[in-house]
């Protein structure tokens, strides 16, 4: 753990686990951060909001500003490889939570003591992390030693937050990098979904990229095999080594060829080559075309006409250029630099209010609950109690800040306490029209359940007024990023349960959801069924064809075939 504490990764995607211990040594249980502050001496929290970031820090101001600037710099460099338009988008700010190692709250052992695990919980945790049988003897293990991760990034469906413990004397911006796991997340969760060849190519290149000062450097391309590389160096005949671009974009792999390696390896290598070719060249002449092509390919089929529209080349000519470029890609590094050095706008770094401390810190602790539940279930309740204490501190002192209320409401949702959750979410919605997307959805879900919408199958119907009460927060969620599939699913449920039939424009909202989530089979089916039910057969037909095309199994296909028979 000492080495871990020396490496501050501002995009950590860490996985909890029990570190292996030698014979006779206690097992080390690594937990997410658990900050217990003494009210007599609260930490000197500072607050800033800048460039899409919301920052809470108890580090010295100079270090806090350096950390914010470095986070901004790293993302600006990433933008040279991956356009911001092709990354996961969020309407709300990303959260950074920095803790000065010199001011860090109690040590791990003291914190665990504060948690006061029951004997049953402690035994469950020990059994989950400590092997009792060495193959010959059964003996009582040494109690585990608890440590806490110094940095961690967690996600909700509409938010992300980073926690990091920082030691000022050891902070070095050039030793901090975005991790491949972080880049994979913002690529794979971007909506509409990016094509597989783009995701694969970017991740292959980024896995061997390095950050330094104002440059993101892509290492020399590592081709699939020496034999394959030799074939590609063999002049015009080497063009045969690359997949035809129509097959490549369609994901059609060739039969395994010992001379070129496995078909999948060739496809992955060609994806990396194609992305690098699109980024290379003096002045990056193809970069805008590459990004435009990827963005279009996320919402429409790839064709040679689309490729020509973006690049001004047909498939055959582009394949020849890729073949000619490969030796250079294998020989030379590629340095990507912004046209201008990344600079942050001026911003204030000021003392954080009690509400800001409670909301940001408490929402971080809420995110930890699901993480702990998956790894150490015995500790889940302790983390939940801590999140509630932090969030309620400002609430109990009279704050009714809408974002605080929403965070408390989501905490209760995550705890399975829907009755309390609705009260906080209703109060938040009454005070602002800009609740975060997930809070909007959860409020709509709770209203729907309360209005008896789930009893539609028994003949109960929502009045137009009841339907409007549910649809209003869903409409607000649709105006923000990222889109949530459950929002569209609930809209479909409302129209299925409503006594008043929807008009064409109202069902068109569901079609927008289908275009964002075309592989969400249940959403496609429900949208198609509603269109069939209300007589919009032309729309129903293309939805049914989509469902039949992308259905994951025979059972799903059978449902769409039944709908198809109703239309015909």
Q: Flag whether pLDDT at 417 surpasses 90.
A: yes
Of 248, 221, 231, nearest to 304 by C-alpha is: 248
- Based on the number of CB atoms within 10 Å of its own CB, is 353 exposed (0-12), middle (13-18) or buried (19 or more)? middle
Listed residue (263, 272, 307) closest to 289, CA to CA: 307
Contact by Cβ (8 Å): 515, 539 = no
Structure confidence at residue 137 (pLDDT): 45
Q: Given pLDDT bands bounded at 50, 70 and 90, which one contains residue 11? A: very low
Measured from the Cβ of residue 515, the count of other Cβ atoms closer than 10 Å reads 11
**pLDDT value of residue 532:** 97
Average of per-residue pLDDT values in the chain: 86
Q: How far apart are CA 289 and CA 278, in angstroms?
A: 8
Tell which wins on pLDDT, 499 or 2. 499
Confidence of residue 128 (pLDDT cuts 50, 70, 90): low
| Element holding 57 (H helix, E strand) | strand 53-57
Q: Is the pLDDT of residue 240 over 70?
A: no
Amino acid 225: pLDDT = 58
Give the rounded percent of residues in the chain with a pLDDT score beyond 90.
Answer: 69
For residues 129 and 144, the answer to whether their CB atoms sit within 8 Å is: yes
Buried residues in 186-210 as b, exposed as e (16+ CB within 10 A): bbeebeebbbebbbbbbbbbbeebe
Residue 384: pLDDT band (50, 70, 90) is very high
**What percent of the chain has pLDDT above 70?**
80
Give residue 489's pLDDT.
98
Mean per-residue pLDDT for 466-486?
Answer: 97
DSSP state of 220: P
Tokens of 506: 């109202």
pLDDT tens digits, 348-374: 999 999 999 999 999 999 999 998 888
- Segment 93-115 shows an average pLDDT of 73
- Averaged over 477-495, what is the pLDDT? 97
H or E segment to which residue 296 belongs = helix 287-297
Global pTM reads 0.86
- Note the pLDDT of residue 253: 73
pLDDT surpassing 70 at residue 146 = no
Looking only at the bridges linking them, the beta strands covering 159-166 and 28-31 are: unpaired
Q: Tokens 């150490």 correspond to what residue?
A: 376
With b for 16 or more beta-carbon neighbours within 10 A and e for fewer, the 490-513 pattern comes to bbbbbbbbbeeebeeebbebbbeb
Decide if 511 contacts 539 (C-beta within 8 A). yes
d(CA 87, CA 276): 18
Per DSSP, the three-state class of 189 is: coil
- Asked whether the beta carbons of 298 and 240 are under 8 A apart, the reply is no
From the list 486, 481, 491, the residue with the least C-alpha distance to 437 is: 481
pLDDT of residue 482: 97
pLDDT digits (tens, 9 = 90+) for 287-320: 999 999 999 999 999 999 999 999 999 999 999 9
Confidence of residue 101 (pLDDT cuts 50, 70, 90): confident
């Amino acid at each position: 753990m000492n080495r871990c504490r020396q490496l501050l990764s501002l995009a950590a995607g860490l996985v909890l686990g029990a570190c292996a211990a030698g014979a006779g040594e206690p097992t080390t249980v690594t937990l997410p951060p658990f900050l217990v502050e003494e009210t007599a001496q609260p930490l000197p929290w500072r607050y800033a909001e800048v460039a899409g970031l919301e920052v809470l820090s108890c580090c010295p101001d100079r270090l806090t500003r350096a950390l914010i600037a470095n986070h901004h710099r790293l993302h600006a460099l990433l933008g040279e490889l991956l356009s911001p338009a092709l990354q996961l988008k969020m309407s709300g700010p990303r959260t950074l939570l920095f803790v000065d190692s010199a001011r860090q709250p109690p040590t791990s052992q003291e914190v665990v003591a504060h948690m006061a695990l029951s004997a049953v919980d402690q035994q469950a945790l020990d059994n989950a992390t400590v092997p009792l049988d060495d193959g010959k003897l059964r003996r009582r293990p040494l109690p585990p030693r608890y440590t806490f991760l110094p940095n961690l990034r967690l996600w909700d469906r509409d938010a992300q937050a980073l926690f990091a413990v920082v030691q000022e004397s050891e902070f070095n911006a050039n030793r901090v990098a975005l991790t491949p796991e972080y880049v994979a997340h913002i690529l794979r969760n971007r909506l509409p979904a990016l094509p597989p060849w783009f995701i694969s190519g970017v991740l292959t290149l980024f896995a061997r990229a390095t950050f330094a000062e104002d440059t993101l450097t892509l290492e020399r391309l590592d081709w699939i095999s020496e034999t394959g590389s030799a074939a590609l160096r063999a002049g015009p005949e080497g063009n045969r080594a690359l997949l035809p671009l129509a097959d490549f974009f369609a994901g059609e792999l060739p039969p395994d060829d010992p001379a070129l390696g496995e078909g999948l390896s060739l496809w992955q290598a060609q994806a990396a080559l194609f992305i690098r070719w699109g980024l290379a060249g003096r002045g990056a002449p193809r970069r805008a075309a590459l990004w435009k092509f990827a963005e279009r390919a996320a919402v429409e089929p790839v064709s040679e006409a689309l490729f020509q529209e973006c690049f001004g080349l047909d498939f055959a000519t582009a394949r020849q250029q890729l073949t000619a470029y490969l030796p250079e890609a294998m020989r030379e590094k590629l340095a990507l630099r912004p046209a201008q050095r990344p600079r942050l706008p001026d911003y204030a770094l000021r003392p954080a209010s009690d509400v800001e401390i409670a909301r940001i810190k408490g929402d971080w602790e809420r995110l930890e609950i699901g993480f702990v539940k998956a790894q150490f279930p015995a500790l889940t309740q302790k983390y939940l109690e801590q999140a509630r204490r932090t969030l309620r501190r400002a609430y109990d002192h009279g704050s009714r800040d809408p974002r605080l209320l929403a965070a408390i409401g989501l905490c209760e949702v995550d705890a399975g306490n829907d009755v309390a959750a609705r009260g906080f979410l209703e109060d938040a919605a009454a005070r602002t029209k800009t609740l975060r997307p997930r809070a909007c959805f959860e409020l709509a879900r709770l209203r729907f359940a309360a209005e008896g919408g789930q009893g539609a199958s028994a003949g109960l119907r929502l009045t137009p007024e009841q339907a409007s009460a549910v649809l209003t927060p869903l409409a607000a969620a649709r105006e923000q990023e990222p889109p949530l599939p459950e929002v569209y699913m609930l809209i479909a449920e409302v129209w299925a349960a409503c006594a008043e039939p929807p008009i064409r424009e109202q069902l068109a909202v569901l079609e927008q959801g289908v275009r964002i989530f075309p592989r969400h089979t249940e959403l496609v089916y429900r949208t198609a069924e509603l269109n069939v039910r209300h007589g919009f057969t032309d729309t129903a037909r293309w939805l049914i064809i989509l469902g039949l095309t992308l259905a994951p199994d025979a059972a799903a296909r059978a449902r769409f075939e039944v709908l198809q028979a109703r239309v015909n």
